[in-house]
Amino acid sequence: MARIAVIGGTGYAGGHIVQEAAKRGHTVVSVARKVPTERVPGVTYIEGSLLDVPGLLKELEGVQTIVSCVAPRGDMEGQVRPSLAELAAEVPEGVRLGVIGGAGGSLVAEGGPRLIDAGGFPDEFKPEAFEMIGVLEDLEATPASVDWFFVHPAAGFGAFAPGERTGRYRTGGDILVTDENGASMLSGADFAIAVVDEIETPKHHRTRFTVGY
């Protein structure tokens, strides 16, 4: 079993990943700025922030995989990219780094364009999407010794469409995953399955991948 830390482990994506990893018997540490009153049995909850990378790494000593689910919105806008760049630079050798991004940077077809550039992308989400695209660019520029993966969820992924656990998903490399009707959806539970599967059986080293139905 792996020792996994989830930064932003009380949010939508992070909370589902914490639950799935704990369900499978992994040792899980959930990091958030506030410890929740409702907790997943067996999970260790600590107060911590992506804005304090040195302190965070001290708290996470011995962890094998760190997954960041922190979105650059609200008071975190503009701060996630530099913080993740610092984390990638300081993460101990042998520790794998996973980053949960948004759908905006995924391609709508082979060779592009990106979803954010394809038209119809909500203006209010563009700053967040562009910042996470920058995070991916920073990861791609890290030394080869840094093992990371970056996940683009479906366009219709979020607390607004929680869905149900089906146990199925598809990955699409750089390309947004859509169904036969062109819809791009994924439940929180099935997204977590995809992420924990990647942790257990790594298939994407120093690259991104998309997930959907």
Separation between Cα atoms, residue 168 and residue 170, nearest integer Å = 7
User: What are the phi and psi torsion angles at 145 (to 5°)?
Assistant: -75, -15
* Domain ranges, ordered by start, for the chain: 3-212
For residue 6, the cross-strand partners are: 30, 67
Q: Is 158 helix (H, G, I), strand (E, B) or coil?
A: coil
Model pLDDT, residue 85: 98
Model pLDDT, residue 95: 98
pLDDT in tens, 132-156: 999 999 999 999 999 999 999 999 9
Model pLDDT, residue 41: 96
Cβ contact 39:94 at 8 Å: no
Strand arrangement of the beta sheet that strand 3-7 belongs to: 44-47, 27-32, 3-7, 65-68, 96-100, 148-152, 207-212, 170-171
Q: Which residues have CB under 8 Å from 141's CB, separation 6+?
A: none
The arithmetic mean of pLDDT across residues 175-197, rounded, is: 97
Residue where the block lists tokens 């995809």: 194
Please tell me whether the overall predicted TM-score, pTM, comes out greater than 0.85 for this model. yes
Model pLDDT, residue 48: 96
pLDDT in tens, 34-87: 999 999 999 999 999 999 999 999 999 999 999 999 999 999 999 999 999 999
Which CATH architecture is the domain 3-212 placed in?
3-Layer(aba) Sandwich (3.40)
In this prediction, residue 112 has a pLDDT band, given cuts at 50, 70 and 90, of confident
pLDDT in tens, 4-37: 999 999 999 999 999 999 999 999 999 999 999 9
The Cβ-side half-sphere exposure at 162, using a 13 Å CA radius, reads 6
Q: What are the angstrom distances between the C-alpha of 183 and each of 42, 104, 110, 179?
A: 36, 15, 17, 5
The arithmetic mean of pLDDT across residues 180-193, rounded, is: 97
